[in-house]
Structure 1
């Protein structure tokens, strides 16, 4: 069986989408406390251990819980990230397994984002 290659997005690519693309769904899979201490604008906090449950919800349940529209299976701009990249990669793999064909990981994660954004 071939190893699944996780699709990734670079800082520059993500920066071009944040706040500009209405179809961007940016999911921060860090814990609630980490998220509260700073996050990428527009990101939704869905901790890694709840990603599968969240993506299994009905669109109505997802919207009620997270305040954003649940991404479609073929959502073009579904991006996961964490603090250093590992949890984001795990979440992206899980999303791929569930059929989210375009899901991508931002491996630079919040660490890179906050360094480049000076936060």
Structure 2
């Protein structure tokens, strides 16, 4: 995996500030839509891991139309992507899919997931 892992405190700060290492951050929850609806990290957006592979083949315009946000480009020097799920398993799958598309320097993960985050807030 090429993603940098963040702690709860770092993830909480990203949710508050919208930035990671001075990069504009998108927080991507890869759980199901139902899980997302039941609770999520503040300011997170949702693309279930089961849809992610297909979603990543969409053009930026198609992606925005379907998911209502812009996915940072894999080679962006100004934007970052922070991925999490419930406990870390789906995050690993998402990170692998994103890494295949060249995400590396701007890819972050919160492996504690919603299980950990929800216990600490």
**TM-score w.r.t. structure 2 length?**
0.84
Does the residue aligned with 2:83 lie in a helix, a strand or coil? strand
| Alpha-carbon distance in 2 for matches of 1:6, 1:25 | 14
1:109 and 2:113 aligned: yes
> Do the aligned partners of 1:48 and 1:91 also contact (CA within 8 Å) in 2?
yes
Corresponding residue for 1:31?
A: 32
Corresponding residue for 2:9?
A: 12
Unaligned runs of 5+ in 1: none
Corresponding residue for 1:80?
A: 83
Structure holding more strand per residue? 2
Q: What are the within-5 Å matches in structure 2 for residues 51-90 of structure 1?
A: 51-75=52-76, 76-90=79-93
Per the TM alignment, residue 110 of structure 1 is displaced from its structure 2 partner at its CA by: 0.4
> Do the aligned partners of 2:30 and 2:85 also contact (CA within 8 Å) in 1?
yes
Per the TM alignment, residue 5 of structure 1 is displaced from its structure 2 partner at its CA by: 5.1
Unaligned runs of 5+ in 2: none
Per the TM alignment, residue 63 of structure 1 is displaced from its structure 2 partner at its CA by: 1.2
Q: Number of residues paired by the alignment?
A: 114
Does the residue aligned with 1:25 lie in a helix, a strand or coil? strand
Does the residue aligned with 1:79 lie in a helix, a strand or coil? strand
The one of 95, 98, 101 aligned to 2:98: 95
Relative contact order higher in (CA < 8 Å, ≥ 6 apart) = 2
